[in-house]
């Protein structure tokens, strides 16, 4: 099965171990092979160190594209159990990925059963579209340029950034974005074979939502059943 976990915020970048542990459980192995792709953050070594420390109970590797040392990216990614994408700049990440063929390699990894996960930019990328502050901080612009492994749109930081909720509602109402999911910080949606499976939260009150037109020119926002971890 094709597993995608899209976090609104959380994971090791935000000091959260519960969402990460749930991602690893999907691999079904005592010591899964986990690859970090930190392109959206600019491949900082400090983030790589934090990743290796947080996932010390796994076999870890990092795919760097600003200082690339992997020749066959498709074979490399498909040889892992989990691929984990960091937050950062969604637009820049997708452009760099396409230049290096990472977009095609991730599609192949998905078909090979590799669990695909990430937060913020690392969640936006799996869907057809998203909202992003990649063009200007403090905004949440629509972007219809994702990998399309999951249908519709995704919005991270739904409760953590003031611009996200009104921007998404306007974009859905106007048709600028397709219906989709929105996640608070420390909440995630789990998509299996392109379909919603469940939602998780590592903090009380953090929720995941389905946001879609209401048929009367407005927007319907439905809180999804969200399982509190831990």
Catalytic residues, by residue number, are 120, 157
Residue among 166, 169, 127, 134 nearest 148 (CA):
127
Number of alpha carbons in the 13 Å side-chain half-sphere of residue 46: 3
Residue among 36, 4, 22, 1 nearest 186 (CA):
22
Quick one: which H or E segment has residue 151?
Answer: strand 150-155
For residue 24, the SS3 value is helix
Q: Whole-angstrom Cα distance, residue 24 to residue 173?
A: 36
Residue among 114, 152, 141, 103 nearest 32 (CA):
114
Give the contacts of 225 (CB within 8 A, at least 6 positions apart). 198, 199
Backbone angles phi, psi at 6, to 5 degrees: -115, 115
């Amino acid at each position: 099965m094709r597993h995608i976990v899209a976090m609104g915020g959380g994971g090791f970048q935000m000091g959260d171990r519960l969402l990460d542990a749930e991602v690893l459980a999907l691999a079904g192995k005592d010591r899964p092979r986990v690859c970090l792709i930190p392109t959206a953050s600019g491949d900082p070594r400090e983030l790589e160190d934090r990743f290796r420390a947080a996932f010390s109970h796994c076999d870890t590797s990092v795919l760097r594209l600003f200082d690339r040392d992997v020749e066959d990216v498709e074979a490399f990614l498909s040889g892992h159990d989990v691929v984990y994408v960091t937050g950062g700049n969604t637009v820049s990440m997708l452009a760099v990925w396409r230049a290096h063929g990472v977009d095609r390699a991730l599609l192949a990894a998905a078909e090979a059963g590799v669990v695909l996960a990430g937060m913020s930019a690392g969640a936006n990328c799996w869907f057809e579209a998203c909202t992003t502050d990649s063009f200007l901080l403090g905004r949440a612009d629509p972007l219809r340029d994702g990998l399309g492994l999951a249908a519709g749109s995704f919005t991270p930081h739904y409760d953590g950034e003031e611009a996200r909720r009104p921007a998404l509602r306007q974009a859905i109402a106007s048709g600028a974005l397709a219906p989709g999911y929105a996640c608070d910080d420390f909440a995630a949606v789990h998509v299996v074979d392109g379909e919603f499976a469940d939602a998780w939260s590592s903090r009380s009150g953090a929720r995941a939502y389905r946001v879609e037109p209401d048929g009367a020119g407005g927007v319907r926002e439905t809180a999804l059943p969200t399982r509190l971890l831990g």
